Amino acid sequence: MHLSRLSLQDFRNYKQLDLSLERGLYLFYGDNAQGKTNLLEAVAMLATASSFHASSDREVVNWSSPEHIARIEGTVTRHEDAIDIEIFIFDPTPPAIPSTNGAAPPQEPAVTLPLPANTPRKRFKVNSIPRRTMDMIGQMKVVLFAPTDLHLVDGSPDERRRFLDRALCQVQPRYCQAILKYRKIVTQRSALLKRIRDHQEDPGMLSYLDEQVTMLANQIIYERQLMVNALNQQAVVFQKSISGGSEQLQIVYRPSFKVDEAWNTTEAQQHYLKQLQAVRKKEIMQGVCLLGPHRDDLEFLVNGVNMLNYGSRGQQRTAALATKLAELTYMRASTGDEPVLLLDDVFSELDHARREYLLNQVLQHEQVFLTATDLTEFTPEILRQAHSYHVTHGELQMQTQ
């Protein structure tokens, strides 16, 4: 699988971009805040329908866009066919553009555009046919490796859950549906718990939501377990290679529900229901859902030692690198397609040995987009193989070797 065409209009600082692409390694380099990460953000959105870099969709729309719409278009060549993907993101509250050159835009939007009720802020098309978000996710596959991913091991549990969800949503459409439904049910259930605590609702109202939570949790936990098992088969190999054979990595899935592999799906849901009932008083008192996939975590053990608490910085980064490479292998094995690999300025965060190992690995993949501040980190051999572009103020200039 590779991206053969990328077109951007009013996306971040890209007023207009039309880029023809081939298989191989692409290096996008330049100073900070020139648009390198924005480029990878757009590519990732073609696969996941959401931004890894923005807290709100409206942030990707260029402030000066006359239509207040950002467009991303891509042609994806897969092993069985080629498809065109289009994404339209509308910003109903664009900021006012200051008249003074160089002045910063206001923090609060000064303009609000009237919209019909229930107008979607994002629209998707696949081969010119409108599609739902669910139908669009996973049409293209990407694996993103950004500096924040180096903190996969020592970061927050939310980051580790997001790592699982991002991969699984691209691989398993039913998982994506389940996780979105689950999040809505958890929000509803938390609101109900607060109303029960405040004597505004009957505790019996929880029964239906408990059934829904445990049914969806059952599916989510099962898929996460399968993914972690698959990751372990590859991550242990990568960890040994990077560490010179001295380290063995094990990724352990830690669900907040007590789980027994001997349970079938029916038994598992009944056990989860009993566990919810056991903490019901505590949940009502706190007004939050205390059990479920939204509280799961991953644990990384190197030679049996927990890396979160006892790992050195080098060991933590090696474990994160091994895990991301294992994710790439997992997605390829699960779908039959080679995901596009996106590396956002991670080389400056790695020491020489890990940088060289990662470079040797990425050269084996079908298409890789890599950003860096300059090209001095790369050998002449790498530069000869790469398509290099200098990025300045949202414009690309191809570099010839």
pLDDT single digits (tens) 168-221: 999 998 999 999 999 999 999 999 999 999 999 999 999 999 999 999 999 999
Q: Identify the pLDDT of residue 134.
A: 87
The answer to whether 233 touches 278, Cβ cutoff 8 Å, is no
Confidence of residue 311 (pLDDT cuts 50, 70, 90): very high
Confidence of residue 114 (pLDDT cuts 50, 70, 90): low
The answer to whether 86 touches 124, Cβ cutoff 8 Å, is yes
Mean of pLDDT values over 67-83: 93
Q: How far is CA 134 from CA 126, 128, 170, 180, 187, in A?
A: 12, 16, 10, 10, 20
The answer to whether 331 touches 170, Cβ cutoff 8 Å, is yes
pLDDT at residue 222 is higher than 80: yes
Sign of torsion over alpha carbons 234, 139, 72, 55: negative
The domain made up of 1-141+341-401 is a member of CATH 3.40.50.300:
yes
Q: Identify the pLDDT of residue 55.
A: 81
Mean of pLDDT values over 1-17: 96
Range of weakest confidence among 37-51, 114-128, 162-176 = 114-128
Q: Identify the pLDDT of residue 121.
A: 83
Beta carbons within 10 angstroms of residue 11's beta carbon: 27
Range of weakest confidence among 25-34, 89-98, 121-130, 285-294 = 89-98
From edge to edge, which strands make up the β-sheet containing 297-302? 249-254, 297-302, 305-306
DSSP string, 289-355: --SSGGG-EEEEEETTEEHHHH--HHHHHHHHHHHHHHHHHHHHHHHSS-PEEEEES-GGGS-HHHH
Confidence of residue 73 (pLDDT cuts 50, 70, 90): very high
